[in-house]
Structure 1
């Protein structure tokens, strides 16, 4: 038994992509440090213990790490089965949220389970990517199976549930990832223009019929048309921080912004640690995404190539959107910074995302080869 466990762990160590694993653990560490910097001021404003959010974030970090590491042991088939299970549970949870979930700032996205607020849509995203990638791959491998049609149906279900909450930011993110996968799977030119038209039409309808979307876009285009306090303050904090920052604990943005520990934690980083620290963080995100896409190109299995690429896009685009909002380059969307922002559902879902990615990028020694540098993809 001991020998079997030792062999399994040894094989895992030599087949996992260690540079990416180290980069992800580094992000988890960054998130904990920034939680200590950004959240005490918010907790005290809410008459909570100063380290209330820090303690909760610290509690979720080992759970997230455990989920990420545990999922990496799965084979591609095991990853697909887990994704299907999570997707079904997430869809059920999203429906349940619409029926009995609590409303926060006009949106019904959370449901309380055992005293914890859970956001099912966060867990839906990585599972959706893996299942859709598998459907596209099956459609290519066996044309008699309407994988593309099934992927469209699942996409429409996911979009309908997200819009009902409403969560336009996550809808846009999911649509971008799904469109990217469809394109990589060999989408005909007709579908490209059709999806572009549907995307423009959907955003137009959201602007005219979803009040909070209308307000956010209007404030982005014309700041004088409404309250832009959060984005203006975040931008001022970034400018104030300069290259090296004002120093840990010396920032002011966290004392005034209600979302400084979640959506605007990047502004806290910029103000207290400076633009150089922000560039380091962005470099870590860029390294992870580029390395994942490189590994995707190296695999011959279409399912793994699409799934790895989709998970990398999901991870990278979420980071880009959050940072762009902080820099006033996009309307506010209420999207967290992966592994950095406070939030249990976000942290655990990103851990699931990257666990699936690491599982699909694992390699193993060729049979009969003793040197560790000879690897081939998992079957």
Structure 2
């Protein structure tokens, strides 16, 4: 055990939080997978548990590998990866998997493995934004120049994600606005970008309404979710009803591990609505503990920021760390009917491959920052992306 601790660097509390969430996730995923087995007819509960365990082991390998990379390389790496994710998003939008005949193109298959490209795109975009802000920290930002250098790549990525995944687009856009505000981007320009984003979204909805065959069911799905949430006495979505029943059944201490009843009726019980199953089985006490762990992770993120000596390191940790907490908050809010259904998973607990891996990649970046003691802003910002490619090839 002592040998293992010698090889892991960075904030040990974050390592512990990741391990606790991962270990805890086994029982809820195993329990909730009965819906996939006995209702959908997909595999076995033990098979889903093994798959989840393998994904988490690969996730820990990602964290370990990424946290060993000096975080200055992520700056230039984002420039290299940005064109790659744009191409991947375009391919996904054109050839991605559809669900139930609807245009929900979010996945492509690479080597036989399903991959959700929007999660990778969001991560790369946050690092790219952090790089831009750090490079311009001592300059007067000119709006026209920032439109080309910052907002053109951002808008291109978000436009490619929007048709298939509005909630992810909204989360990424919101997080980018938060980061640019913290990074010192002029407030009047942020207001303009926000207004432009709302105009683009309105235009997109009007186009989708005018040509429904181009993106069948997508805008209608968003509209139904908002109406089901906002209308008092209106008929709620089926999964929300079952989630509320699960939470009410759980009470203070829950019905016990593996004894959930609503897992057999609640769609996405092992992913999007796993928090409802956790409360049913472990009660409000269990739900509060999970919530507290995520807030502890948020606190440790700010501890890392306080110890970071560079602007890029600070913005990098914020850019990749805050979305994890934001996503967890949205998932729990949806399960408790405080927010419309969005399809966001609970980080490190819900089943799913890409979401686990990208969360682990982000945590690896945070740990890389916390593990780095001596680095200057000049070393980071003078990095040439081509040099990184050469070093990688060598």
Q: Give the TM interval when normalised to the shorter protein.
A: 0.7 to 0.9
Report the Cα distance in structure 1 between the residues aligned to 2:253 and 2:81, rounded to whole angstroms.
42
SS at match of 1:305: helix
Mapping of residues 89-168 of structure 1, within 5 Å: 89-105=84-100, 106=102, 107-141=104-138, 146=145, 149-164=148-163, 166-168=164-166
Give the structure 2 partner of residue 371 of structure 1: none
Cα offset, 1:296, TM superposition:
1.3
Report the Cα distance in structure 2 between the residues aligned to 1:141 and 1:9, rounded to whole angstroms.
39
Cα offset, 1:251, TM superposition:
0.9
Give the structure 2 partner of residue 174 of structure 1: 172
Mapping of residues 140-289 of structure 1, within 5 Å: 140-141=137-138, 146=145, 149-164=148-163, 166-201=164-199, 209=209, 210-222=219-231, 228-289=237-298
Deviations 1:86-112 (A, max 9, x none): 443332221111122211252100112
Matched, 1:305 2:314: yes
Q: Tell whether the 8 Å contact from 2:228 to 2:235 is kept in structure 1 after alignment.
A: yes
Cα offset, 1:265, TM superposition:
0.2
Structure 1: runs of 5 or more not aligned: 1-5, 367-377
If asked which structure has higher relative contact order (CA below 8 Å, sep 6+), I would say 2
Deviations 1:205-249 (A, max 9, x none): 566642211111111112655551101110121121011101112
Cα offset, 1:348, TM superposition:
0.8
Deviations 1:130-176 (A, max 9, x none): 11100111122455894674221121011101113x21100110011
Give the structure 2 partner of residue 78 of structure 1: 73
Which residue, out of 355, 358, 364, partners 1:349? Answer: 358
What is the aligned-residue RMSD (CA, Å)? 2.5
Q: Tell whether the 8 Å contact from 1:44 to 1:50 is kept in structure 2 after alignment.
A: no
Structure 2: runs of 5 or more not aligned: 210-218, 381-394
Which residue, out of 20, 25, 28, partners 1:34? Answer: 28
Query: CA, structure 1 residues 332+104, in 2 after alignment: closer, same or farther (shift >3 Å)?
Result: same
Q: TM-score, normalised by structure 1?
A: 0.87
Query: CA, structure 1 residues 215+161, in 2 after alignment: closer, same or farther (shift >3 Å)?
Result: same
Query: CA, structure 1 residues 226+205, in 2 after alignment: closer, same or farther (shift >3 Å)?
Result: farther
Report the Cα distance in structure 2 between the residues aligned to 1:33 and 1:43, rounded to whole angstroms.
16
Q: TM-score, normalised by structure 2?
A: 0.84
Bigger drift between 42-51 and 180-189 goes to 42-51
